[in-house]
Amino acid sequence: MHKPGKFNAFTDESLALDGAKSGPLAGTTFAVKDLFDIAGTVAACGNPDWARTHSAAKAHAEAVSTLLAAGASVRGKTITDEFAFSIIGENHHYGTPINPNALGHVCGGSSSGSAAAVAGNLVDFALGTDTGGSVRIPSSFCGIFGLRPSHGRVSLKGVFPLAASFDTVGWFARDPVLMQKIGQVLLQNPIAASKSPSRLLYPVDVWQDVASDTALALDPGVSRLEELYGPVERMTLAEGSNLAEWFETFRVAQGAEIWQTLGAWIEDVQPSIGPGIKERLDWCKSLTKAMQDDALSRREEIASRLQDVTQDGSVLVLPAAPGPAIESGRSAVASNEIRAQIIRLSGIAPLSGVPQMSLPVAKVTGLPVALSLMAARGSDEILLKMATELCGTAVDGLAPLL
């Protein structure tokens, strides 16, 4: 039975797997989101009925094995929102992880426990997944670094598939240099990260979706990027459309895949599912083939737009979230409204498969907010390098919240 421990980050604090004695990550510790297979255990995916109806894994997820071979040691399995299908960070069955850098506020989901474990200095880094923002949003809310890699750059073998064409394995750390080292281990088909961005793009329509105090707090981070790489160029990202339409595209395309993953099991088992998530799953069931086909067509247009604006080496400078973390225990309705605001921003990268990284550079009323960088598909190493250059040392009072 789950017993809340430090920051209520873990479903299993006792899980311990020692990594290799040598390697690029030797001596580091990491936590694993409860969506990853760990040999001899069941990945509950945030739902007790899922745990009850599934067998223990026979092998570790590939990402876990890769990190162990690089010298990192597992120290705990962390809470996830049910089926990773929430951006808020509250679990009806296992509780709400505590945000160490914003007490009384959520960590963000669905990789809430992983973010809490890193922010609370319980481990050096943690694995999460990001289908619609589940690494980038907890990173922003908790004041730590987080990367959603390009789709396909990190193996998903042995990881619960929420929506396969959106799913990615990402990670959190308090240190940008460690983020970069983890990338050197996990990213498949590595590239040299010697290049700097050709341009910095500032999508005005995206920034309009951000609270004014958050935008103001992030201004010094934008200025520092300009000092390093040249002035930003203002532009409109959702050209000929708008972010609300992009959100609806994301919602339908993802929702159809989620029902394909979970529908048969839900109808067979009739599991207990927490409020908010149950209603969204019911909505997923209602989606028609025509609705999915239309969303997939629009998704191709959005991916083409991102490719057009990033293929020359440009990097988009964005807010990671519309504002700081919301208070814990908000009503499901309030959470759903905020969820839509968040995913209008966090749903852009999943629609196009591009990488995006959250950088903890500011606070609003004492709560962390993050700047983020988005680049062409396959340019993950460039974002990791930029994060180190931007946040490796304090400049004019600008520093990561370590």
The helix (run of H) or strand (run of E) holding residue 374 is strand 367-374
DSSP character at residue 197: P
Structure tokens at 58: 């026979």
Q: In what order do the strands lie in the sheet with 10-17?
A: 10-17, 73-78, 29-33, 125-129, 169-173, 145-148, 356-364, 367-374, 315-319, 200-203, 232-235
Alpha-carbon distance values, 211 to 46, 320, 396 (Å): 31, 12, 24
- Cα pseudo-dihedral 149, 153, 159, 164, rounded to 10: 80
Q: Of 125, 108, 109, whose CA–CA distance to 35 is shortest?
A: 109
DSSP character at residue 2: -
Residues 6+ apart with CB under 8 A from 290: none
Options 110, 112, 140, 372, the catalytic residue: 110
- Cα pseudo-dihedral 261, 266, 269, 270, rounded to 10: 170
379 given a catalytic annotation: no
For 129, the 3-state DSSP assignment is strand
Q: For residues 359 and 57, give the distance between their C-alpha atoms in angstroms, rounded to a whole number.
A: 34
33 given a catalytic annotation: yes
Q: For residues 122 and 135, give the distance between their C-alpha atoms in angstroms, rounded to a whole number.
A: 18
What single letter denotes the amino acid at residue 392?
G
Q: For residues 224 and 221, give the distance between their C-alpha atoms in angstroms, rounded to a whole number.
A: 5
Alpha-carbon distance values, 301 to 291, 306, 381 (Å): 16, 9, 26
77 given a catalytic annotation: no
Options 134, 314, 335, 352, the catalytic residue: 134
Q: For residues 294 and 184, give the distance between their C-alpha atoms in angstroms, rounded to a whole number.
A: 38
Q: Are strands 356-364 and 367-374 parallel, antiparallel or unpaired?
A: antiparallel
The three-point CA angle 156-157-162 to 5° equals 55
For residue 315, list its beta bridge partners: 200
Catalytic residues: 33, 110, 134
